[in-house]
Amino acid sequence: MPYCPNCKIEFEESVKNCSDCGTELIDSLPKEFFLDEDNLALLTICTQMYEAEFIKANLESADINAFILSKQDRNYPFLGTIKIFVKKEDENSARDYLENINNQSPSTDEE
């Protein structure tokens, strides 16, 4: 099955270009596109992509690599889930970092 190297979507054999980005499809994705699931830990599950991107950006600002796995239907984004994974050795640091963010009270300019 052909794949889009940009979107990482699998297509039917008869398709030659990605319907989302227009890129020419390739026969298979390189090995670096696949996550090593044995070394990853599920950190959290989101319902919105912006929420997952926000969490990922915060983690990466703390030098913790995060990976997003979306199982949402592009046509029906309210269906499915978005999972955020981190390396197992970073799991405790990632959980502590997110907990600290969630426990911080928002600052106001009035203070």
- What are the DSSP calls for 24-78, one per residue? BPBSS--GGGS--GGGEEEEEEESSHHHHHHHHHHHHHTT--EEEEE---SS-TT
Shared domain check, 89 and 53: yes
- 11-68: pLDDT as tens digits: 888 888 888 888 898 887 666 666 677 889 999 999 888 999 999 999 999 999 998 8
Structural domain contains residue 111: no
| Enclosing domain of residue 30 | 1-34
Lowest mean pLDDT among 6-15, 39-48, 84-93: 6-15
Please indicate, yes or no, whether the overall pTM of this predicted structure exceeds 0.85.
Answer: no
Contacts of 12 (CB under 8 A, 6+ apart): 1
Contacts of 66 (CB under 8 A, 6+ apart): 43, 55, 56, 59, 60, 84, 85, 86, 94
Shared domain check, 39 and 27: no
Domain count, the chain: 2
